């Protein structure tokens, strides 16, 4: 035992310093994880899988936000990307070369919501009723519920947004598949949390 | 370091105190009471959740007013993200609890009859190793309780039995709760009774809960 002149146990002092270091470390690790420094060790899957297909990115992303395949089930993509459906793709002609269409279809089917381990894909699947085949992501119950608190003036009546379908207008990391509420910034309004 | 029971209360109290503070800072109109009147605060915090007929007629007006107030309070600029959001607080508490739970498990060996053990016997408790183990366990439990509280507070709307227990958020909530209960159970039983089992189950539940939401 080592005693200070105040009668305090030196071992106890050292012990508290050690504990303080451990506690500081316990704060540093979550921050490091949050900043993405540990992504290589512990990949995050709380959003949807990012698009990693150049053809899909180029063909679909040239007209609208390239929605991640994990937002819809296979049956939805099959209907959306049929040759006939692409002739009238929400009012636009989006016909593709057959080889490109098939390549894109193969990609989205392989990465559709039911095949994804990402959290929001699972949430989408849980929100669908048996046999329900949504053709718009924004019409799924999950997406409607997640946005129901946002006033119309911030979305539809907001000229910088216009529609819920413009994901990346507010979700600043949408392209990476990160839809955390902390990354939401509504143009003209700013940070939003629900 | 004999009577540290207040520590768990203190840390839990801090967690539970910080949560509503962050929540308030997050809510529309950033601390409306600090700059404006109570009327402004109410208007600014009124989302479109007011469904009673009495309010429906005024809903559009209130919404517009809230938007105007938002802009006024921010000097015409956009709302900025708070330095710590409720989501981040919940995440940090959960990860911290998991980490401290792991360290508690690692320190278990040192807690039994280690150097500085004042009792010196096989079933005695005391000394530096025991104190560290105990403090880590209490801190892990406190952070776990804070994570549970902030989870319900900030993510309560993501939980619902209609999606079934396999829904990722329901699973995350159930396992996080189970993990914290495991911690509480272990801390309550320690040091006299065997508590390694409940502590370990708690730690593993917490690990899976974090991974599901990660």
Residue among A36, A55, A56 at smallest CA distance from A47 = A36
Residue among B8, B3, B2, B7 at smallest CA distance from B141 = B8
Cα separations in angstroms, A35 against A12, A39, A108, A180, B170: 35, 9, 29, 13, 26
- Tokens read off for B188: 């309550």
Q: Do A193 and B63 make contact, defined as CB atoms within 8 angstroms?
A: no
Q: Name, of A33-42, A66-75, B9-18, the range with top average pLDDT.
A: A66-75
Same domain, yes or no: B62 and B121: no
- Which residue from B minimizes the CA distance to A38? B214
Q: Which sign, positive or negative, has the C-alpha torsion A152, A157, A159, A163?
A: positive
Among candidates B99, B164, B213 on the partner chain, residue whose Cβ is nearest the Cβ of A29: B99
Distance from CA of B28 to the nearest CA of A (A): 8
Same domain, yes or no: B66 and B162: no
pLDDT per position as a tens digit, A145-193: 999 999 999 999 999 999 999 999 999 999 999 999 899 999 999 998 7
Same domain, yes or no: B87 and B155: yes
What is the rounded average pLDDT of the residues B139-151?
Answer: 97
Residues of A in contact with B22 (CB under 8 A): none
Q: What is the 3-state secondary structure (H, E, C) of A18-42?
A: HHHHHHHHHHHHHHHHHCCCCCCCC
Same domain, yes or no: B95 and B146: yes
Distance from CA of A78 to the nearest CA of B (A): 25
What is the rounded average pLDDT of the residues B35-64?
Answer: 40
ipTM score of complex: 0.73
Same domain, yes or no: B194 and B95: yes
Same domain, yes or no: B149 and B181: yes
Q: Do A30 and B91 make contact, defined as CB atoms within 8 angstroms?
A: yes
Same domain, yes or no: B149 and B56: no
Strand partners, A3: A9
pLDDT of residue B6: 47
Same domain, yes or no: B65 and B109: no
* Contacts A–B by Cβ distance under 8 A: 102
- Tokens read off for A49: 């899988």
Domain assignment present for B121: yes
Domain-ending residue, one of B38, B54, B73: B73
Among candidates A12, A44, A193 on the partner chain, residue whose Cβ is nearest the Cβ of B86: A193
Residues of B in contact with A129 (CB under 8 A): none
Phi first, then psi, for residue B95 (nearest 5°) are -65, -40
Same domain, yes or no: B69 and B102: no
Residues of the domain holding B153: 5-23+83-213
pLDDT per position as a tens digit, B164-207: 888 999 999 999 999 999 999 999 998 877 888 999 999 999 99
pLDDT of residue B131: 86
Domain assignment present for B68: yes
Interface test with A, best of B48, B72, B126 (most A CBs within 10 A): B48
Domain count, chain B: 2
What is the rounded average pLDDT of the residues A16-33?
Answer: 64
Q: Is the pLDDT of residue B73 over 70?
A: no
Same domain, yes or no: B37 and B19: no
Same domain, yes or no: B14 and B38: no
Domain assignment present for B78: no
pLDDT per position as a tens digit, A95-144: 999 999 999 999 999 999 999 989 999 999 999 999 899 999 999 999 99
Domain assignment present for B55: yes
pLDDT of residue A133: 97
Q: Is the pLDDT of residue B7 over 60?
A: no
A58 touches chain B (CB under 8 A): no
């Amino acid at each position: 035992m080592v005693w200070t002149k105040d009668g305090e146990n030196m071992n106890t002092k050292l012990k508290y310093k050690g504990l303080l270091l451990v506690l500081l470390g316990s704060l540093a690790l979550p921050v490091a994880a949050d900043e993405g420094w540990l992504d290589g060790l512990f990949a995050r899957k709380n959003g949807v899988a990012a698009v990693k297909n150049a053809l899909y990115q180029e063909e679909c992303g040239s007209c609208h936000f390239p929605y991640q395949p994990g937002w819809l089930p296979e049956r939805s993509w099959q209907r959306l990307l049929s040759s006939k459906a692409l002739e009238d793709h929400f009012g636009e002609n989006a016909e593709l070369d057959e080889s490109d269409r098939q390549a894109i279809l193969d990609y989205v089917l392989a990465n559709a919501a039911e095949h994804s381990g990402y959290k929001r894909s699972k949430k989408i699947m849980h929100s669908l009723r048996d046999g329900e085949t949504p053709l718009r992501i924004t019409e799924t119950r999950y997406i409607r519920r997640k946005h129901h608190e946002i006033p119309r003036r911030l979305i539809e009546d907001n000229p910088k947004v216009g529609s819920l379908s413009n994901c990346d207008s507010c979700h600043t990391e949408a392209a990476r598949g990160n839809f955390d509420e902390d990354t939401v910034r509504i143009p003209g309004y700013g940070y939003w949390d629900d | 370091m004999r009577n540290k029971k207040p520590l768990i209360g203190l840390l839990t109290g801090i967690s539970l105190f910080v949560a509503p503070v962050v929540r308030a800072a997050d809510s529309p109109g950033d601390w409306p009471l600090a700059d404006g009147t109570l009327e402004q605060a109410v208007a600014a915090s009124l989302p479109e959740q007011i469904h009673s007929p009495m309010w429906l007629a005024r809903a559009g007006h209130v919404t517009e007013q809230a938007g105007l107030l938002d802009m006024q309070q921010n000097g015409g600029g956009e709302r900025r993200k708070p330095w710590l959001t409720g989501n981040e607080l919940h995440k940090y508490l959960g990860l911290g609890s998991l980490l401290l739970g792991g360290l508690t498990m690692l320190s278990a060996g040192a807690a039994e009859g280690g150097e500085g053990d004042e009792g010196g016997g096989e079933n005695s408790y005391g000394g530096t190793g025991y104190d560290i183990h105990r403090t880590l366990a209490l801190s892990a439990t406190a952070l776990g309780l804070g994570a549970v509280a902030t989870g319900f507070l900030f993510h309560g709307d993501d939980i619902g039995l209609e999606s079934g227990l396999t829904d990722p958020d329901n699973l995350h909530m159930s396992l996080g709760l189970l993990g914290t209960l495991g911690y509480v159970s272990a801390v309550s039983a320690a040091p006299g009774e065997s508590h390694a089992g409940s502590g370990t189950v708690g730690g593993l539940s917490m690990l899976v809960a974090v991974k599901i939401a990660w």
